[in-house]
A = this chain, B = another copy of it.
Amino acid sequence: MEKKITVLPGDGIGPEVVAAAIRVLQAIGKRYNHDFQLGYAAIGGAAIDQFNNPLPEETIEMCKQSDAILLGAVGGPKWDNNSPELRPEKGLLRIRKTFDLFANLRPVKAFPSLLNASPLKREVAENVDLMIVRELTGGIYFGEKQRTETDASDLNIYTRSEIERIVDNAFEMARLRRGKLCSVDKANVLETSRLWRAVVDEKKELNPDIEVEHNLVDSVAMKLITNPGHYDVVVTDNMFGDILSDEASVITGSLGVLPSASIRGDNFGLYEPVHGSAPEIAGLGIANPAATILSVAMMLQYSFGMKEEAAEIERAVNAVFEDGHFTADLAKNNETALSTDEWTDKVIAEI
């Protein structure tokens, strides 16, 4: 197959981890005979420096011509005091909205070889295998904002159809996994949550094979720590999803290896590691590329329908961990830590 990918390296360690992931992608292309065509463009701080715009028109145009987007990371202290419109994360928010990438998929799975790095007791974290489905283009992120002399406000607003499409997506996801769905809201306080809950209940009637539970966001914030193994698919709104998916990302000790996908109804999507731009280690060649490599696997699976290829990357990454090879963030002592490139070579050797 022939696929066009727009690559947005971004800031901090973004360029390094993206370069590593692209090497793995090319290895897969060679092995399975696919032609991955890459175009590079700017986003975030790098784009502000070059174009005074965190998401330049050129970048949008190139993305429009592609089948998928691979993003490194955006942000860094250099741009922290910029005005809201000229901040790196504005590029991220805008690309999600421009391409209507309403479903953010964040899998969290325990790697047995990484559990030592988890803040949780082994027995609590070891069976974790969950997927957070976060609504990404609505809610309080994009509702009307106001600021006066005396107050400030943000409108949290959801249309029924915005909720329907993300909930449909979550039901499908649950069906592909273990058939369990937890919908998270704050229905005892929020009107948007009451509409959300009503939509989930309607969809539940149409999906009798899926086991559905409703739970309040405060209660889920607890249970994600006390019993994370309970969850299969968790669906929630943009704001709650931001908080819960970051909370969930640290329970298995593998924040540095977590991928994400931001997709819409068709096959188009944006793929990026969950970790940030880590400016403090940028340019040192020691960043962990696993999350970006696994994001490429999600791209192969969700945008290109290449299930076998995706599974092959996941298998390779897991094998390298099982063999005891780690980058500095996960290595037990620094002497044995591999560089970004060395670790990537191990993965490629497995493929």
Query: Is A242 interfacial (CB-CB < 8 Å)?
Result: yes
> B152, A155: Cβ atoms under 8 Å?
no
* Contacts A159-B151, A192-B154; A226 near B250 (Cβ below 8 A): yes
Q: In the complex, A141 Cα to B186 Cα: how many Å?
A: 10
The residues in A between 138 and 157 inclusive whose CB is less than 8 angstroms from any CB of B are 140-141, 143, 145-147, 150-157
CB distance from A201 to the nearest CB of B (A): 12
CB-CB under 8 A from A153, the residues of chain B are 143, 155-158, 191-192
How many A residues have CB within 8 A of the partner chain? 57
Say whether A189 faces chain B, with CB atoms less than 8 Å apart. yes
With both chains docked as a complex, state the minimum distance between the C-beta of A12 and any C-beta of chain B, in angstroms.
15
Residues from 142 to 188 in A contacting B, C-beta threshold 8 Å: 143, 145-147, 150-161, 186, 188
> A222 within 8 Å of B by Cβ?
yes
Q: Is A30 an interface residue (CB 8 A)?
A: no
CB-nearest residue of chain B relative to A221?
A: B247
A253 nearest in chain B by CB position:
B226
Which one, B189, B225, B226, contacts A141 given CB within 8 A?
B189
Copies in the complex: 2
Tell me the bound Cα distance from A190 to B26 in angstroms. Answer: 40
**Is the C-beta of A195 less than 8 angstroms from some C-beta in chain B?**
yes
A158 to B87, CA, bound (A): 24
**Majority secondary structure, A binding face:** helix
For residue A218, give the distance in angstroms from its CB to the closest CB of chain B: 4
The one of B147, B219, B225 in contact with A225, judged by C-beta atoms closer than 8 angstroms, is B225
Segment 46-76 of A: residues with Cβ below 8 Å from B: none
Determine if B250 and A146 form an interchain contact, defined as CB atoms under 8 angstroms apart.
Answer: no
- Does A249 count as interface, using CB distance less than 8 angstroms? yes
Known contacts being A158-B151, A189-B93, is A243 close to B225, with CB within 8 Å?
Answer: no
Inter-subunit contact A151/B157 (CB<8 Å): yes
What 0/1 pattern do residues 263 to 279 of A give for CB contact below 8 A with B? 00000000000000000
Query: For residue A243, which residues in chain B have a CB less than 8 angstroms away from its CB?
Result: 217-218, 221, 240, 243
A89 at the interface (CB under 8 A from B): yes
Residues of B within 8 A of A141 (CB): 189
| Interchain CA distance A124-B125 in the complex, whole Å | 15
- Whether A119 pairs with B226 at a CB distance below 8 angstroms is yes
Q: Across the interface, which residues of B come within 8 angstroms of A194, CB to CB?
A: 84, 147, 152
The answer on a CB contact under 8 Å between A152 and B225 is: no
Whether B225 and A195, one on each chain, are in contact in the complex, defined by CB atoms closer than 8 angstroms, is: no
* A219, B247: Cα distance in complex, Å: 8
Query: Is A103 an interface residue when CB atoms closer than 8 A count as contact?
Result: no
The answer on a CB contact under 8 Å between B143 and A195 is no
